[in-house]
Chain A
Amino acid sequence: MKQRTLLRLAWQSIIKNKMRTLLTMLGIVIGVGAVIVMVAVGQGAQSQIEAQISSLGTNLIIVLPGSTAQGGVSQGAATFNRLSIEDAEKLKREGTTFAAVSPVVSTRLVVIGPQGNWRTSINGVSADYFTIRDWTVTSGETFIDADVTSGRKIAVLGATVAKQLFPGQDPTGSQIQIGHAPFTVTGVLTAKGQNASGQDQDDIILMPYTTAQTRLSGNVRIGQILISTFSPGDIPAAQTEITAIMRESHRLGDGADDDFTVRNQTEIAKAATSTTSVMSGLLAAIASVSLIVGGIGIMNIMLVSVTERTREIGIRMAIGARGSDVLTQFLVESIVMSILGGIIGLAAGYGGSLLLAHLTGWRTVVPLFAVLIAVGFSAAVGVFFGYYPARKAAALNPIEALRYE
C-alpha cells in the first residue's frame, strides 16, 4: 500500500472518532507538555547559574588554602589556612601562563558614611583583581599597582554599598570610615547582581590588600588567590604551573600532599549546576511517567478499536489485505495519534513554560534537544503501545472476523 493511502486511512479513522481521539491524545499531550515545562525550568535554572558563574570573571582559577586529599583521604577545603602574600607574589613573578594574579583578603566590618552606616564585606585585592573579575567602574576609577605598593587608604564601593551610604549621590571623592581609619572613595563598581548562591555581589568594598592588612584587622593570611589565564585553553597548563609554584613556595617534599586546592571555573560551575541538573532530571523523569501512562491510554483505545472493527478487518483481509497491511494500518494510526498528541503537547509545554516564566519570574529555556526528544519519544510511544493491538488485528482469522457481530 502507498504511504499516502496509509496516512489517509489513519487520518480518516482518527477523525471519525474525534472525541475519543482527543481524550486518548490528552495523555500524550499532558506527558509531552509536562516534560517540556520541566526541562524548560531545569534548563532555565542551569543557564542562569552558568551566567552567574561566568560573571565571576573569565578564565578564572582559584587557589584555596587547605588540601583536598591527605594520604588519599579527602579533607575538603580550608583544613588549615596556609596561603600568604608571598605565595601570591611568587605566582605573579614566576607564572608564565597567567594574565593576572590577585590575592583576596576578606573581612566584614561596619562602614560609616556621611549619612549612615552599613555592614559589608571588605576585600583587600591587587589591581589585577579588576581584570580577573572583569569589573569596571561606573564613576571614578579603580586603583593601580602603585596604590597597592604604597598602601593608600582608598576604597572602591560596590553598587549596593554606594546606594546605602550615599543615596542619590556620587560618592567618588568622599570620605568614609572603616574600622577606625578614614578612606577616600575613588570609584563605584558596575553592578553585577546576585551570584550563584544568591548573594549580592555588589555588597562589597574593594581596597588594596596592603592597606587591608595594615589598616584593618590583623589578618595577614589570605582567603584565596585568584588567577586568570589569557584563554580557556591555557587553564590546564596554568593549573599545573600553579601547583608547581605553590609546592615550591610551601617547600613541600616529593611525598607530601598539596596543602592547597586549585579549582578552575568549569569545576566551580559543575559543582553549582550538578544540583540543578539532578533536580531537572528528576522532574523530567516524573513527567515522562505521564507519557507512559498516555501510551497505555493509546494501547487501551487501540485494543477497543481493533475489537470494534473486527468486521472491517475481516473485509479487508477477504479482499486481499495481508496481515502486514492490517498491522501497518493500525500501527500508523496509533503513531499518527501519538505524534499529533506530541505536537500539541509541545505547543502546550512551550506556552506553559512562557506562562510560568511570566508568573514566577524564573528563567525558562526550551532547548531544541527537548523538542526533538519529546516528539521522538511520543512517536516511540505510538509504536510501542500500538504494536500489540496492531498485531492482534493482523493475526485475526478472516473467516471469524467476517462473522463477528
Chain B
Amino acid sequence: MTDTVVPDATRPVIDVSDVTKIYEMGVNKVLALRGVNLKVFPGELLAVMGSSGSGKSTLMNILGCLDVPTAGRYTLDGVRVDGLSRNALADLRNQKLGFVFQGFNLLPRTSAIENVELPLIYDRSGRWKDTRALAGEALGRVGLGERLHHQPSELSGGQQQRVAIARALVNHPTLLLADEPTGNLDSRTTVGVMVLFQALNDQGITIVIVTHEPEVSRYAKRIVEMRDGRIIHDHPVEDRQNAAADLKALGDEVIGFPAEASAA
C-alpha cells in the first residue's frame, strides 16, 4: 500500500529512555518499570515477551499512550509523550496508533464496518472524508470484505480479531500495538493472524506485539524479553518463520493479502 508512509528509517518510531513507572496502591508502592530503554525503528516487527508481572503490560500501556511514565522520556514518532494531557494523549492515540487487544474489544451489537469506522469518527484533524468507505476498504484488506454488516456475535474468533486489526489499520497508524492478540485463538487461527501481521509489516507498518507465546514471537523480527520491570534480553530472531508458509503446511487457505503473503 502506497499510503503507509515510512518517512525516515533512521528516526525511531519508539524512543523510550530510562522510563520508570511506579503504581501507588494505598501504602504500597509497586515498581512496574525500573528504567527501561528501548528504540524501535520503522519497519520493525517486535515481540515483547515476559511472564505476568514482568512489566510488559505496563510498557504496553505507556507505548500505547494510555498511561504516562512516572519518570523518564518517551518519544513517539518525534512527539514527546511524557507529560501530555489526557486530551493530547487521546488525540495521539487517534492519529498515530492502532490497537489490537487480546479480547478483540469490539463493540457488541455493532456491525463490523461500524466498529472499524470508530477511530475515524473521533478524528479532529478532518483528514478523513468518506469514513464508511475507508472502513470498508480496511475490512477488505483483512479479507472480510464480504462481512461488512455482520455483528461480532455472528463472526468467529479469528474473524473478530481481523475486524479488530482492520480497526487498528483504518487510521493508517505509524505504530500498531498488539496486546496478546492471539491469546483467545486456537493455534491454527493464531497462524492466520500472524500471516496478517507479517504481511502488514512487509508493507512497512511498524508492529509491536506483546505476547507470552514463543510460537508467536518466532514470527517477529526482534524479541525483547522482560523480567521484573527491566529488559533482560533484546535480540533479533534468527530463525524467523513465515506464517503464510506455516499456514499452507497446515492446509489452510491464506486470507488477506494473498499476493503479498505468498511473495514474502
Which A residues have a C-beta under 8 Å from some C-beta of B? Answer: 1-2, 5, 12, 16, 311-312, 314-325, 398-399, 402
Contacts and interface: CB of A to CB of B under 8 A. Distances in A.
B143 interface: no
B105 A320 contact: no
Contacts of A323: 86-87, 90
Contacts of A2: 121
Contacts of A321: 90, 94, 122
B66 A399 contact: yes
Nearest to B117: A5
A172 to B, nearest CB: 82
Contacts, number: 59
Given A1-B122, A320-B122, A399 B67 contact: yes
Contacts of A311: 105
B61 A320 contact: no
Given A16-B109, A311-B105, A399-B61, A319 B87 contact: no
Nearest to A394: B86
A404 to B, nearest CB: 11
12 contacts: A12-B110, A318-B64, A318-B93, A318-B99, A319-B99, A320-B91, A320-B119, A320-B122, A320-B171, A321-B122, A322-B122, A399-B61
B107 interface: yes
A398 B66 contact: yes
B93 A312 contact: no
A26 B110 CA distance: 27
Contact of A316 (B61, B118, B123, B171): B118
Contacts of B122: 1, 316, 319-322, 325
Bin chain B's interface residue count.
20 to 34
Given A318-B66, A320-B123, A323-B87, 12 more contacts: A5-B121, A312-B107, A314-B105, A319-B119, A319-B122, A320-B90, A320-B93, A320-B94, A320-B119, A322-B90, A399-B67, A402-B66
A319 B93 contact: yes
A16 B153 CA distance: 15
B219 interface: no
A363 B86 CA distance: 59
B160 interface: no
A314 B91 CA distance: 15
A318 B61 CA distance: 10
B182 interface: no
Contacts of A317: 90
B101 interface: yes
Interface in B2-31: none
B167 interface: yes
Closest 3 CB pairs of A and B: A320-B94, A319-B119, A320-B122
Contact of B107 (A315, A398, A402): A315
B94 to A, nearest CB: 2
A316 B122 CA distance: 9
Contact of B86 (A5, A315, A322, A402): A322
B92 to A, nearest CB: 8
Interface in B92-144: 93-95, 99, 101, 105-110, 118-119, 121-123
Nearest to A317: B90
Contacts of A1: 121-122
B167 A319 contact: yes
